[in-house]
Amino acid sequence: MDFKISDFLKPEAIIMEIKAKEKIAAIKELVDHMVAHKFVSDGERFLNALAKRENLESTGIGDGIAIPHARTDAVDDLILAFARSAHGVDFSSIDGKPSHLIFLIASPENKKSEYIMALAKLSRLLRREPVRQELRAAATPEEILKIIKENET
């Protein structure tokens, strides 16, 4: 299966500038956005799954990136959302720096392999500094998607 991150991220699931400054507030803002666009059926259940996951271990992976994620039946299919923060959100990252690029992954319980693949591909893509710089500079959701499409392998 040729798994592409860009197949699971829709322009409507992209927030160019998130308002929240704190981790759970940022996650809630993303979840509310996904509920408003009908990507998630049960926002509360999804938020609880994400919060529980965050309590186990922070999803702030360093380099200004956070990838909150959870498997929940509040979604029917794997879906990604993206938010950017100029100010930065404290995700208790391993390097102690705030997160400016936040990718959220939602997956139904029964799609474990796609979920793991999404995490791995996203981590690999975001390890590259030029990609992070382009994502920080992008002006529109379409530009964000274009950057991901051009750089994913």
Percent of the chain with pLDDT over 90: 85
Greatest Cα-to-Cα distance within the chain, rounded to the nearest angstrom:
38
Instruction: Provide the token pair at 44.
Output: 């509360």
Tell which CATH architecture fits domain 5-151: 3-Layer(aba) Sandwich (3.40)
Catalytic positions are 69
pLDDT number for residue 1: 54
In the predicted model, what is the mean pLDDT of the chain? Answer: 93
pLDDT digits (tens, 9 = 90+) for 114-132: 999 999 999 999 999 999 9
More reliable by pLDDT, 61 or 2: 61
Domain parsing of the chain, residue ranges:
5-151
pLDDT digits (tens, 9 = 90+) for 16-51: 999 999 999 999 999 999 999 999 989 999 999 999
